[in-house]
Amino acid sequence: MISTFSRVWLLLVFTTLLAVPVTAAEDDAGSIFIEGYTNQLSYQPGEKIQFHLNSSEPQYSIEITRLGAENKTVYKETRQNGAAHPVPEDASSNGCHWPAAFELTVPDSWASGYYSVRLAVRDGGGKFIQRNSRSAESSLFFIVRPQQPGSQTKILIQLSTNTYNAYNNWGGSSLYSYHGRNHLQGHRVSFDRPLAGQFSNWEYPFIAWAEQNGYQLDYAANSDLEFHPEILQHYKLVLSVGHDEYWSAPMRDHLEQYIKQGGNVAFFSGNSVCWQVRSEDDGRALTCWKQWYNQDPVFPTDDHSTLTTLWSHHLVNRPENQLTGVGFLYGGYHKSHGQFMDGSAAYRVHRPEHWIFEKTGIKQGDEFGGKDTIVGYECDGCQFVMQDGLPVPTHKDGTPKTFQILATCPAKWAPGDSLWYDRFEKDRVGAAVLGMYTNGGTVLTVGSTDWAHGLRGKDPIVQQITRNVLDRLSK
């Protein structure tokens, strides 16, 4: 996102799992705590997970559950080796450096997926009672990649783990000043610290619906596109869902090459590929200077291709439109940040004859998705003009020549957002744009973070469009 993060929706089932843990450094003396992180974001069966934990009590419980259409607990244990460790002052940027409490080898039987880890402690001999009293719990997660990529499905979902980290202010600062310590904005964030993420708001509703409707998915982290790009060759369709905001140049390079070679991508997401980051420490940290790009060590050099600021910034000159078809520069907010707060939150259809609308019965000018606010929070669009009553891209913003606009909804930047660019038309009204282009492979974008909310709400048109995309682009 570009300005203040204003809305977090949590499923009731995750209220406990995603509770922000109280750290030893921040809690009152004598209270109890447990928190932790793993040494990697994703693993294949046979690899060892290292759990780095910080606990006030020697005895703690751990419960691992794969989240999907059915939440399946795959591991439970009570251990006796809990220990307290200091939280470094620079934990948010350089990690906690806690020792590994134990290791667990991923069994061959664990399916590819998102695994939530629940940690819990209680005071000696006491009962679990009110949180922040004499018991405490927290959560962490890891991803299991398939042992044989593409052998069970041709659809890969890469989770927005870079975005999770960008918003994580545990231990000091995130990449945002509004909730950093002393309102300081960080420019480097480490994965070696507790991290809950945003999975429940967008990706979980999509995944639960997909599994309920017979679609099997393989899973990966954002960074797997950078460090394990060979995985892509095994799939017909790669998915981005929800809020997939922070991308490194290698991630983007590898996915664009995949598309040129005939691979398909569906961005069921918005504010996508907005900021460029650089991975450091073998993927255990991200650097992004954002609006302070002139402090990035890359700035004084002659090569700005990896400058960690907006992909659409003229110094980088690689707008996300070239990959996704759309971008935040010509989108903005709808029913958030004070923009279009009384808006329809629905897409208006322009080209109902397109195959994406098959079996929906929808007609030109019809709207859909408003009940579940599928156009909401942050939106991506493109520059277009009206010809014969239909929107047509100008292609001046990097949108590919074959991009076709299928549906739109008004969106607008919040006041002051134009300061993030030095070449921007203030107070411009843009649009969330649902569209598609082909350049070797086919790329769909829905232009909104909140598409998955229509699946959660069982909107029949949102569901049918999603089926059409998954069925056609995965074969």
Strand partners, 240: 267
pLDDT at 420: 63
Q: Give the angle 174-245-402 at the CA atoms, nearest 5°.
A: 165
Q: The tokens of 296 are what?
A: 């990035």
Question: What's 34-143's CATH class?
Answer: mainly beta
> pTM of this prediction?
0.91
In tens, the pLDDT along 36-87 reads 999 999 999 999 999 999 999 999 999 999 999 999 999 999 999 999 999 9
Pairing of strands 275-280, 246-248: parallel
Q: The tokens of 229 are what?
A: 């790009």
- Residue of 377, 269, 398, 388 lying closest to 330 (CA atoms): 398
Mapping DSSP to helix (H, G, I), strand (E, B) and coil, where does residue 224 land? helix
Within 330-459, where are the H helices?
A: 451-456
Q: Tell me if 207 sits within 8 A of 217, measured CB to CB.
A: yes
pLDDT at 113: 98
Q: Tell me if 142 sits within 8 A of 115, measured CB to CB.
A: yes
Q: Which part of the chain has CATH 2.60.40?
A: 34-143
pLDDT at 330: 93
Low-confidence ranges of the chain (pLDDT < 50): 2-29, 126-132
Q: Tell me if 328 sits within 8 A of 2, measured CB to CB.
A: yes
d(CA 104, CA 64): 11
d(CA 456, CA 460): 11
pLDDT at 134: 78
Q: The tokens of 360 are what?
A: 């929906």
Q: The tokens of 1 are what?
A: 């996102």
- Residue of 338, 360, 341 lying closest to 414 (CA atoms): 338
d(CA 241, CA 257): 20
Type and span of the H or E element at 260:
helix 249-260
Within 261-336, where are the H helices?
A: 321-324
Burial class (CB in 10 A: 0-12, 13-18, 19+), 425: exposed
pLDDT at 123: 78
In tens, the pLDDT along 143-185 reads 999 999 999 999 999 999 999 999 999 999 999 988 888 889 9
